[in-house]
Amino acid sequence: VRSRRRGQNRLQTPAKIVEAVQDLVLTSSDEVVAGALNRNGMRTGRGNRWTSERVMSLRLKRGIPKHSKERQGEQGWMNLTDAASFLHLSASALRRAAEQGEIRAKHPLPDGPWIFHREELEGERGRKIAARARNQQNGTASQDPDQLTLFNETT
């Protein structure tokens, strides 16, 4: 059994929560991060619910920078809504593509926000997803000319 290092105790915040906070502050304020942690049933090291003050304290102790809209824009991080708007498609279409691994995205918590990087959206994968979504909206989703339609035209 490994012994604890100096300063470690059973009341420490688990590493997976610290990693989730590092990812979530890329696009979200402390208040939003606290809400996401609570929705996922995560507690502080002492077993308390998360508040914006507790998230701020964790950030300060771990050297995690505060969320900043300016830094978010400079670094190119976007939440699901912003990324979908950037690609001109619905949020559900982009979420499905991310869930299926068609585009890379961070999803630090099962019931939490998706985080996208602008470079990924501007790349080949992002262009493919946007083109496919536009084709589906135009009714040209199938490229196979021999494919039969589901409904017969009756006029």
What's the CA gap between 26 and 106, in Å, rounded? Answer: 10
Mean pLDDT of the chain: 89
Q: If you average pLDDT over residues 81-93, what whole number do you get?
A: 95
Question: Residue length, the chain?
Answer: 155
46, pLDDT greater than 70: yes
The token pair at 135 is: 């084709």
Q: How confident is the model at residue 43 (pLDDT cuts 50, 70, 90)?
A: very high
What pLDDT is recorded for position 152? 64
What's the CA gap between 83 and 116, in Å, rounded? Answer: 7
Q: If you average pLDDT over residues 52-64, what whole number do you get?
A: 97
What pLDDT is recorded for position 139? 63
114, pLDDT greater than 60: yes
Q: How confident is the model at residue 144 (pLDDT cuts 50, 70, 90)?
A: low
* Beta strands 115-117 and 77-79, pairing class: antiparallel
1, pLDDT greater than 90: no
Q: Identify the weakest region by mean pLDDT among 6-15, 47-56, 73-82.
A: 6-15
